[in-house]
Structure 1
Amino acid sequence: MKLFQIAAAFFLAVATAGAANAASDDNYLTIQLKDGPVVIELLPDVAPKHVAQIKELATKGEYDNVAFHRVIEGFMAQTGDVQYGDMENGFDARAAGTGGSSLPDLPAEFSNVPFERGTIGMARSQDPNSANSQFFIMFADGGFLNGQYTVVGKVVAGMEYVDKIKRGEGGNGEVSDPDRMIKVSVGKK
Structure 2
Amino acid sequence: MIRMTSALLTASVSAFALAATACADASTDTGMAESSATIQEADGSRYARDGIPSGPDAARQIIADAPEAAWRAVDPDRLLVISTRHGDIWVELAPEFAPNHVARIRELVAEGFYDGKVWHRVIRDFMAQGGGASDNPGLNADREPLQAEFMIARRLDTDIAISELQDRVVNPREANTRARAGFWNGFPASTMPLGQAGIRADGQVESWLLHCRGAVAAARTSNPDSANSQFYITTGTPAHLEAVYTVWGRVRAGQDAVDAIRVGTMGETMGFRPDFIMSMRMASELPESDRLTIEVFDTDTPDFAVYLQALQAANNDRLPDVCDIEIPVRITE
Question: Hey, what's the Cα distance between the residues in 1 that align with 2:257 and 2:271?
Answer: 17
Q: For each residue in 1:97-146, what CA deviation from the matched residue of structure 2 results, as whole angstroms up to 9, or x when unmatched? A: x2210121100001221101000010001100000000000001111100
Matched, 1:135 2:175: no
Q: Report the equivalent of 1:155.
A: 251
TM-score w.r.t. length of structure 1: 0.77
Among 109, 118, 132, the alignment partner of 1:58 is 109
Matched, 1:80 2:131: yes
Matched, 1:103 2:143: yes
Structure 2 gaps of 5+ residues are: 1-72, 152-207, 285-290, 292-333
C-alpha spacing 1:128/1:144, structure 2 compared with 1 (3 Å): same
Report the residue type matching 2:243 in the other structure.
G
Q: Is contact 1:166–1:175 with CA below 8 Å preserved after alignment?
A: no
Question: Hey, what's the Cα distance between the residues in 2 that align with 1:174 and 1:132?
Answer: 28
C-alpha spacing 1:174/1:181, structure 2 compared with 1 (3 Å): farther
Q: For each residue in 1:22-64, what CA deviation from the matched residue of structure 2 results, as whole angstroms up to 9, or x when unmatched? A: 9x32211101110211100011001000000001101111101
Report the residue type matching 1:66 in the other structure.
K
Q: Is contact 1:72–1:172 with CA below 8 Å preserved after alignment?
A: no
**Bigger Rg, structure 1 or 2:** 2
Q: Is contact 2:214–2:255 with CA below 8 Å preserved after alignment?
A: yes
Among 214, 228, 247, the alignment partner of 1:118 is 214
Identity between Structure 1 and Structure 2 (%)? 38
Q: Report the equivalent of 1:88.
A: none
Q: Is contact 2:120–2:266 with CA below 8 Å preserved after alignment?
A: no
Structure 1 gaps of 5+ residues are: 1-20, 86-90
Question: Hey, what's the Cα distance between the residues in 2 that align with 1:108 and 1:55?
Answer: 17
C-alpha spacing 1:175/1:117, structure 2 compared with 1 (3 Å): farther
Q: CA deviation at 1:162?
A: 0.8
C-alpha spacing 1:75/1:184, structure 2 compared with 1 (3 Å): same
Q: Is contact 1:167–1:175 with CA below 8 Å preserved after alignment?
A: no
C-alpha spacing 1:169/1:26, structure 2 compared with 1 (3 Å): closer
Question: Hey, what's the Cα distance between the residues in 2 that align with 1:99 and 1:175?
Answer: 20
Q: For each residue in 1:57-83, what CA deviation from the matched residue of structure 2 results, as whole angstroms up to 9, or x when unmatched? A: 0111110111000000110000113xx
Alpha-carbon RMSD: 2.1
Report the residue type matching 1:108 in the other structure.
A
SS in 2 for 1:26: helix
TM-score w.r.t. length of structure 2: 0.45
Q: CA deviation at 1:176?
A: 1.9
Q: Is contact 1:118–1:137 with CA below 8 Å preserved after alignment?
A: yes
Report the residue type matching 2:148 in the other structure.
A
